[in-house]
Amino acid sequence: MSDIAKRIKAWRHALGLTQEEFARRSGIPKRTIVGYENAERDPGSAALAAIAKTGVNMTWLLTGEGEMLPAKSEKTTENQQDSASLDALAGRHARRWSKLIELVESAPSPEEAEAILDELFARARQQAELAELRQAVRELTAKQKRA
């Protein structure tokens, strides 16, 4: 897998998006995203511009240098707000993020790195679903008490 393919996939995972969700957000067809992530093709200038709109630091995406998230700017668009939220999260948990990145990057093979990422995101999704269920139970309980 090419380095840019790895970084596109890492960015999508950092956003917590499926390939389909990332395709919708970027405006790039899902099959094309799959092709980029599988290193079957390299993104052209139009695709890179579309990916840039999701808030990624393009220097990092193209070269691997610098941080995944761009430095904060004065102008705030919706995508930049998403980026700022991720930046704040990374700031509070920078050491943990660094350890997770180190864990993934030190995997003996790309397949094992992918498995680690898949497991991390599966666990994160489970926690989000559990939080949603707990909220639904609280709402139902409150509704029953009012009835």
Claim to verify: residue 46 and residue 81 sit in the same structural domain: yes
Q: Which CATH number characterizes residue 41's domain? A: 1.10.260.40
Domains identified in the chain, total number: 2
Q: What is the pTM of this model?
A: 0.50
Tokens representing residue 41 in the block: 């093709």
**Confidence (pLDDT) at 98:** 73
Domain span at 121:
110-147
Residue whose structure tokens are 């630091």:
57
pLDDT in tens, 41-88: 999 988 998 998 888 988 899 898 888 887 654 444 455 545 454 555
Claim to verify: residue 115 and residue 89 sit in the same structural domain: no
Claim to verify: residue 99 and residue 146 sit in the same structural domain: no
Q: What is the mean pLDDT of residues 20-28?
A: 93
- Residue 66: how many other CB atoms lie within 10 Å: 13
End-to-end CA distance of the chain: 58
Claim to verify: residue 29 and residue 95 sit in the same structural domain: yes
pLDDT in tens, 76-119: 445 554 545 455 555 556 677 777 778 888 888 888 888 888 88
Claim to verify: residue 87 and residue 138 sit in the same structural domain: no
DSSP letters spanning the chain: --HHHHHHHHHHHHHT--HHHHHHHHT--HHHHHHHHTTSS---HHHHHHHHTTT--HHHHHHS-S-SSPPP-S---HHHHHHHHHHHHHHHTHHHHHHHHHHHHT-SSHHHHHHHHHHHHHHHHHHHHHHHHHHHHHHHHHHHHH-
Claim to verify: residue 21 and residue 87 sit in the same structural domain: yes
**Confidence (pLDDT) at 88:** 52
Claim to verify: residue 37 and residue 101 sit in the same structural domain: yes
pLDDT band (50, 70, 90) for residue 131: confident
Claim to verify: residue 29 and residue 81 sit in the same structural domain: yes
**Confidence (pLDDT) at 73:** 47
Claim to verify: residue 65 and residue 24 sit in the same structural domain: yes
- Exposed / middle / buried, residue 43 (Cβ in 10 Å: 0-12, 13-18, 19+): buried
